[in-house]
Amino acid sequence: MQRRLSGEKTVSATLPPAVRPDQFYGLTIADAAEAYLKLIGRPESTRQITAALDQGSLQHKSKSLYNTVWPILNNERKRFAKFGRNWGLTAWKKSKHVSTSTSA
């Protein structure tokens, strides 16, 4: 699936069919990203997370959702951790149940 995110370049993202059109409506960006990562159970790139949040009707006023999501993930290190170039949940890093060799 290819989507254009808030006037940005087109990105390819394979989104799970479980993401409903209203999945993230009313949530904060951090809460929505956490919910998405829990749903899929593996680390994802910022672009993939952004595409999922967009598909799930996350409300935002940002001109660039990607440029808003990345710093939030980066600043919320109690919740989110880097797995190579991707983002996952900090709890996964502690439990080491998630492979860090996921696709970007």
pLDDT at site 103 = 47
* Architecture label for domain 2-95: Orthogonal Bundle (1.10)
- DSSP labels for 27-42? --HHHHHHHHHHHH-S
In this structure, are residues 41 and 100 in contact, taking their beta carbons and an 8 Å threshold?
no
The pTM of the full predicted model, rounded to 2 decimals, is 0.77
Nearest to 3 by CA among 15, 18, 17, 16: 15
Residue-range domain boundaries for the chain: 2-95
Profile the chain (104 residues) by mean pLDDT over runs of 10 residues.
47 64 92 95 95 90 91 96 96 73 47
pLDDT at site 59 = 87
pLDDT at site 52 = 93
pLDDT at site 96 = 66
